[in-house]
Amino acid sequence: MRSFRLADWQWNVLGALVIIGAWQLYATFANPFFIPSFTRVLSELWTYIVTGAIAEALGHTFLLLIVGLVLGSLVGVPLGLFLGVNQRLGDILAPYIQAAYATPRIALIPVVIIFFGISTPGQIVLVFLQCVFEILIATEAGAREVSGQFVEVARSLRLSRLKTFVDVILPGSFPYIVSGLRLGLSNAFIGAIGAELFMESAGMGELVRFASQSFRTDRVIAGVIVLSLVAVVLITGMRLWERRVQGWRTETFE
């Protein structure tokens, strides 16, 4: 007997086909309010795309995502480098940073609303809070690791403090910073959708919320599929970048 052999991706596709087939079959007999059929979801998704609803909604979501992530990096990266190099200060502040990191920042929405309002600026603040600690902690870990490893070498080569920072700490920490940005990005995405769902309605959050309030489960699922795809594309892109900048760590002797 010949054994049944498939590559991983073939199993992935096969698995997806089986699940979609089962879904479609079940939905033909079920109440479409609870389980809309796969083809129904696809047709709603298509309508969203051709009417430009998706593009418009993603525009707002990406605005929150990008501005929040940029602000998070502008604060997280320099602060992380500073605390990684000045380790005593880093040690003393560590419990506070860890506490902030462990707190579900979605819970801060009421506070953010009071200070910054419910519309786009307040939403950006939420996205910022959602990603800044990830970026800060990864950067600090990198700078700490690199300075521990190289500070004596740099001193023995008589590098100035500035040159040590620019030519040792910065390039050495870069792969860690990119990892922090990847973690920050996935968290910022959660923050952006959370902001659009629980603060002023806008973007993809509004699209999903509106579909949900009109009891259109098919449209809700269509919206969620878009969110998953966007997340997968963003994270994969970041992973590729991460792998690229970490090239010198993984290159092996040939």
Partner 1 sequence: MTNTGHAASAAQKVTARDVRKVYETRGSQGAPKEVLALDGATVEVRAGEFVSLLGPSGCGKTTLLKIIGGLIPSTAGDVRVDGAVVREPSRKVAIVFQNFGLFPWRTVLGNVEFGLEAAGMPTKERRERAKEYIDLVSLTKFTHSHPSQLSGGMQQRVGLARALALRPEVLLMDEPFGSLDAHTRELLQFELLGILARTQATIVFVTHSVDEALVLSDRIAVFSPSPGRIIETLSVDLPHPRDEAVKSLPRYAEMREHIWERLRPPAVAA
Residues that bind partner 1 (CB under 8 A): 91, 149-150, 152-153, 155-160, 163, 167-168, 171-172, 174, 248-254
Tokens of 195: 């902001």
Q: How far is the CB of 169 from partner 1 (least distance, A)?
A: 11
Minimum Å distance from CB 147 to partner 1? 13
Q: Shortest Cβ distance from residue 139 to partner 1 (Å)?
A: 16
- C-beta of 56: minimal distance to partner 1 in Å? 43
Q: How far is CA 209 from CA 20, 99, 184, 204, 216, in A?
A: 25, 31, 25, 8, 10
Shortest CB 238 distance to partner 1, Å: 20
Report the distance separating Cα 174 and Cα 207, nearest Å.
Answer: 37
Degrees to nearest 5, angle at CA 109 with 105 and 113? 140
Closer of 163 and 239 to partner 1 (Cβ): 163
| Nearest approach, Cβ of residue 158 and partner 1 (Å) | 6
List the structure tokens of 69.
């992530």
- What tokens does 118 get? 């419910």
Q: Which is nearer to partner 1, 51 or 160 (CB)?
A: 160
Q: Residue 65 or 146: which CB sits closer to partner 1?
A: 146
Closer CB to partner 1, residue 5 or residue 249?
249
Quickly tell me which residue has 């269509």 as its tokens: 222
Q: Which is nearer to partner 1, 134 or 140 (CB)?
A: 140
How far is residue 109's CA from residue 250's CA, in Å, rounded to a whole number?
A: 41
* Nearest to 127, CA basis, from 52, 54, 57, 75: 75
CA pair distance 203, 67, nearest whole angstrom? 15
Q: Which two tokens stand for residue 110?
A: 């009421």
> Which one, 8 or 254, has the nearer CB to partner 1?
254
Q: What is the identity of the amino acid at 243?
A: R
Tracing tokens 């040590």 back to the chain, one arrives at 164
